[in-house]
Structure 1
Amino acid sequence: MLVPLTREKFNQLVPLIATGPQYKYYWGKFPDFLQRLLISVVAAAIVLVIKVIFRLDFGPIVFLLGLIGALYWLWGPVFWASMQNAKCRRYKYSGFFRGRVLDWWITDELVGKQETVDSKGDLVIVENREKRINLEVGDDTGFTAQIKVPLRVEHKAIARGQVAEMVVMSNRPDLSRIEQISDIYIPRRELWVSDYPYLRRDYFPEVSRRLRDHEQQRRNRQPRPEIDTRGSRRSKEIRENRRRWEEEEIDNY
């Protein structure tokens, strides 16, 4: 099932400003924080050096630039998450997709290499690998989509045939060509399958529930096919007449 979404509804699902989970995603691990902190220190130092050397008169502007640079470690995740959201919001049309899990499999992906020296002084290259789950979803129309995300413990609950929901994006009004998909939601397990959390996870389940209720009401409003009982009544009359005729034949015999 594919239901077009209004622009207003899509903007609510994929906000312009980063949400909490999106900020957490780009906050990263401790090395990521140290990298941002180093950038902040360097940016503040550059602004200070420029002010001292060139003796600029734009005191408030320079101070503001220095403050922004010094706080990059804090606002950096908001900026990068908002940029990621903007990539999705550039698509003109979107839709709510409901299908099923067709297949899933695990792969071992190379995510980076690290050079180190062993006890003998030889250069050793260590490969950093990460297990990922590949999820394929589709519907009765033949549409399929795949997503590859880092493997988590909660992914053990995924099974073939489960209902899967997501938001699809396109530049065509009829959504005939899907350009981008969001993270996948499995309502039966209340499970999200994603790397970057595109959708508002506090709002998408409510949208899903409303669309399910609307679809059920639409089916209930459809007129039921009329059953022609004349044929069945006629057959019953024929059977009754045949039974009486057989009884009369037996009595006459």
Structure 2
Amino acid sequence: MLVSLTREKFEQIIPLIATGAQYAYYWGKWQDLLNRLLISVVAVVVILILDVVLGQGAQALILLLGVIAGLYWLWSPIYWASLRNNQYRRFPYSGFWRGRILEIFLTEDLIGEEETVNQRGDLVINEIRERRINLVIGDETGFEIELQAPLQRLYKAIAPGQIAELLVLSRQPNLAKIDKFTDAYIPSLNLWIGEYPYLQRDVFAEVSRQLGSDRSRANLNKNRVRKPPMK
């Protein structure tokens, strides 16, 4: 099932400013936090050097830059998440798509490399691999997508045949060609799965419930049998 969405509803589902889940995604692990703190410290040092060079003439500007740089570790996840949201918000057309999980399989993908030095002083490059779950989702028209996400223990409940819903993006008004799609929602499990949490989850879930109710009422009216007139 594919239902076109209005621009207003689309902008509610993929917000301009980062959601809590998106902020948490870019907050990352302790190593990510330490990297941001290091950037903040270096930036503040550079600004202090500029303060010495420029003298008293730019105190207000130096103070403002110092505050921004010093808090980079805190506000940067909002910036990066909002930037990523904007890449999807540029698409002019969107639709709510509902399909079923056709296939599930696991892979171990290369996500990066790490350079270390062994006991002999030689440079060693270690591959960083991550186990990932892959879902093939399709509908009655034959349209299929493959969704991938880092493997989590709670994904054990996912099974073929379950309904999965997501947002699809296109440059064509009739959505004939799908250019991008978001993370998916599995209503029966109240579970979200995807690489990045693009969706404003409460808004998307409300759209899911509304379309589900509308479809149920339509099926009920379609299957209703008229009683013969009384004689």
Q: Which residue of 2 aligns with 1:115?
A: 115
Count, aligned residues: 228
Q: Distance in 2 between matches of 1:52 and 1:103?
A: 63
Q: Which residue of 2 aligns with 1:9?
A: 9
TM-aligned CA deviation for residue 48 of structure 1: 1.6
TM-aligned CA deviation for residue 50 of structure 1: 1.1
Which digits, 9 at most, give the CA deviation of each residue in 1:151-193, with x for residues without a partner? 1111111111111100101111100111110101111111111
SS at match of 1:178: coil
Mean Cα deviation higher: 155-164 or 123-132: 123-132
Whether 2:166 is the aligned partner of 1:166: answer yes
Sequence identity percentage: 51
TM-aligned CA deviation for residue 122 of structure 1: 4.4
Q: Which residue of 2 aligns with 1:100?
A: 100
Q: Which residue of 2 aligns with 1:82?
A: 82
TM-aligned CA deviation for residue 223 of structure 1: 7.6
Q: Which residue of 1 aligns with 2:146?
A: 146
Q: Distance in 1 between matches of 2:108 and 2:13?
A: 32
Q: Which residue of 2 aligns with 1:53?
A: 53
Which digits, 9 at most, give the CA deviation of each residue in 1:186-211, with x for residues without a partner? 11111111121001222322210011
Q: TM-score under structure 1 normalisation?
A: 0.84
Q: Which residue of 1 aligns with 2:198?
A: 198
TM-aligned CA deviation for residue 126 of structure 1: 2.2
Larger Rg: 1
Q: Which residue of 2 aligns with 1:214?
A: 214
Q: Distance in 2 between matches of 1:47 and 1:123?
A: 35
Q: Which amino acid aligns with 1:124?
A: V
Q: Which residue of 2 aligns with 1:246?
A: none
Q: Distance in 1 between matches of 2:64 and 2:130?
A: 41
- Unaligned ranges ≥5, structure 2: none
Which digits, 9 at most, give the CA deviation of each residue in 1:71-114, with x for residues without a partner? 10000000000001101100001100001001111111112222
- Unaligned ranges ≥5, structure 1: 229-253
Q: Distance in 2 between matches of 1:111 and 1:144?
A: 25
Q: Which residue of 2 aligns with 1:248?
A: none
TM-aligned CA deviation for residue 56 of structure 1: 5.5
TM-aligned CA deviation for residue 148 of structure 1: 1.5
SS at match of 2:65: helix
TM-aligned CA deviation for residue 59 of structure 1: 2.2
Q: Superposition pairs for residues 125-136 of structure 1, below 5 Å?
A: 125-136=125-136
- CA gap of 1:45–1:117, structure 2 versus 1, over 3 A, is closer
Q: Which amino acid aligns with 1:107?
A: T
TM-aligned CA deviation for residue 52 of structure 1: 1.1
TM-aligned CA deviation for residue 119 of structure 1: 3.9
Q: Which amino acid aligns with 1:217?
A: R
SS at match of 2:57: coil
Q: Which residue of 1 aligns with 2:33?
A: 33
SS at match of 1:202: helix
Which digits, 9 at most, give the CA deviation of each residue in 1:13-35, with x for residues without a partner? 11100010100000000111111
TM-align CA RMSD: 1.9
TM-aligned CA deviation for residue 116 of structure 1: 2.5
SS at match of 2:202: coil
- CA gap of 1:39–1:119, structure 2 versus 1, over 3 A, is closer
Mean Cα deviation higher: 171-180 or 108-117: 108-117
Whether 2:75 is the aligned partner of 1:63: answer no
